[in-house]
Amino acid sequence: MSLIDIKNINKIYGDKDNEFSALKNVNMKINEGEMIAIIGPSGSGKSTLLNILGCIDTPSKGEYFLKGELINKLNSKQLAKIRNESFGFILQNFSLLSEYTILENVEFPLIYRNKLEKNKLSKKEIREKAFKALEDVGLAAHIKKTPSKLSGGQQQRVAVARALIGECPILLADEPTGALDQKTGQELLKIFKDLNKQGKTVIIITHDEKVAKQCDRVLKIIDGEIIN
């Protein structure tokens, strides 16, 4: 059984008189432990697909199975729980909260998870996990700094630490190297490769073929359709 199995997924925006199909009959399977690149030009449907994979959005038609469970029939509360437990998100713009320290930024996924679960972690446990996640990406010496005091590469590593703290099995990265220089981008890709070797399933959305070539498998999307 595949970790992710998408069958004839369509995503349609607008009404009948002004419909736009962002995704058209998309089929794909991703196995546990793979490092996959989904590549395509701007406007091809990459981010729409990522949002559906990460349970941020739901398809208009088709079926999405995650670990054999039909996802797109779940309610918003169920989707939120799956999203928080299964996926770590790493975005191009980092999405860090500027008024909080990087340690506090990394804590947020577990604070949110506490609201969804009965067996809650203590504040001390959350802080210890956040520190460990930042230590793993080489930022233990910067925990009291706010994001603005860090370089772009360091901010992206904070985003990786935040994605890791929940111990989610799947990492979804949307153009993670897009705002970084080539050297820093390669350092980030090495982190992804190391995490993949540790068992994480890594899915990278990118328009950069150099990034895609470093993954196990490449899927191309153009005008909302997977073409290979």
Structural domain spans, the chain:
34-58+75-226
Q: What per-residue confidence (pLDDT) applies to 92? A: 76
Residue 143 pLDDT level (bands cut at 50, 70, 90): very high
Integer Cα distance of 50 and 27 in angstroms: 14
- In this prediction, residue 164 carries a pLDDT of 87
pLDDT tens for residues 17-44? 788 899 999 999 999 999 999 999 888 9
Tens digits of per-residue pLDDT, 190-225? 989 999 999 999 999 998 899 999 999 999 999 999
Q: Where are the beta strands (DSSP E) in 67-142?
A: 69-70, 87-91
Least confident of 62-66, 119-123, 140-144: 119-123
**The CATH number fitting domain 34-58+75-226, selected from 3.40.50.720, 3.90.850.10, 3.40.30.10, 3.40.50.300:** 3.40.50.300
SS3 226: strand
Dihedral, CA of residue 4, residue 187, residue 226 and residue 13, to nearest 10 = 80
Confidence class for position 109, pLDDT limits 50, 70, 90: confident
Report pTM.
Answer: 0.88
Q: Note whether 177 and 94 are within 8 A (CB).
A: no
Report the half-sphere exposure of 39 (CA within 13 A, side-chain side). Answer: 17
Q: Is the pLDDT of residue 1 over 80?
A: no
pLDDT for residue 119 is more than 80: no
Q: What pLDDT sits at residue 49?
A: 94
